[in-house]
Structure 1
Amino acid sequence: MNTLLYPINLLAVLAATVAVTILGGIWFAGIFGRQYAAVLGRADEPQGKMPPLYIVGPALCMLVTTCGCALLMQALQISSLAQALRFGGIVGVCGLAATAMNMAINPNIPRPLAYGVLSAGYFLLSSLIISAILFWLS
């Protein structure tokens, strides 16, 4: 089975990508902004305007993730919101959150477990949101 042949709803992909990109800004700069700076060892640095790379880069990464989820949801024939959320939970925990924790375990991250938990929480929630939006709009 070649999942690249499945048509995906580009509007749903873009809507989900925009939603989780906005969530990322709220999560990392708003709700957990101070904690995020602290786990990166930058709590004492002034918080200024973010360079475009730090906004566009994650948005493009989430676009790729969302496209992959759309293809997989088509291939798996997800047909209910419950199935979509189950899918989002599995991808969120087993893929995105696990990778975030793995990347956090790095000698350049001063507080790796705190960084991992903070990032993993965002990626799990993002995966659930992506899956729900893809289901609702497809």
Structure 2
Amino acid sequence: MINQLANLNWISVIIAFVVYNVIGALWFTLFFSKPYKMALGKENETLPNNPIFIAGPAICTFVVTLTFAILLYALNIRSLGDAIGLSLLIGTGFLVANTTNIAINPNIPRPILYSIISGTYHLVGIMLVGVILVMMR
């Protein structure tokens, strides 16, 4: 599968990554800022804005986007319907499930709310990635 790196449309990978990343920035700072803070038990606090909280998610989002692109090419997915199907499979089976698993720990006071906010972001993000990658293939 790794041999697919040579076949990727890297411009589409970068565009998909940027869209996924920008949606994340808006999701957690503008669209769902208050519920996200509630999920973390920090509704009356300003969340830290350290470089790790910006660079870390961006790096992870790039890895997810690249991995998805490799799978899309390895599975020879070319239709929008198939890309959405793969997005739903990966989004639900890996991203949402893993987000929920991470949320269920004693450090997150409202794990279900956290899972809904973060999991939905990842599902929407990977759907956009799938659409962009297949449309630009």
TM range (shorter): over 0.9
Which residue does 1:12 correspond to in 2? 12
Q: For residue 73 of structure 1, what is the amino acid of its counterpart? A: L
Which residue does 2:31 correspond to in 1? 31
Which residue does 2:133 correspond to in 1? 134
* C-alpha separation in 2, matches of 1:24 and 1:34: 15
Q: For residue 73 of structure 2, what is the amino acid of its counterpart? A: Q
Cα-to-partner distance string for 1:46-74 (whole Å, 9 max, x where unaligned): 356x2221111111101111111111011
SS in 1 for 2:92: helix
Q: For residue 117 of structure 1, what is the amino acid of its counterpart? A: I
Which residue does 2:84 correspond to in 1? 85
Cα-to-partner distance string for 1:73-106 (whole Å, 9 max, x where unaligned): 1111101011101111111000100000000001
* C-alpha separation in 2, matches of 1:46 and 1:31: 16
Q: Deviating runs (4+, > 3 A) in structure 1? A: none
Report the RMSD for the aligned CA atoms in angstroms: 1.1
- When normalised by structure 1's length, the TM-score is 0.94
1:71 partnered with 2:70: yes
SS in 1 for 2:109: coil
* C-alpha separation in 2, matches of 1:68 and 1:47: 30
* C-alpha separation in 2, matches of 1:43 and 1:36: 8
Unpaired runs of 5+ in structure 2? none
* C-alpha separation in 2, matches of 1:116 and 1:79: 31
- When normalised by structure 2's length, the TM-score is 0.94
Which residue does 1:45 correspond to in 2? 45
* C-alpha separation in 2, matches of 1:32 and 1:42: 13
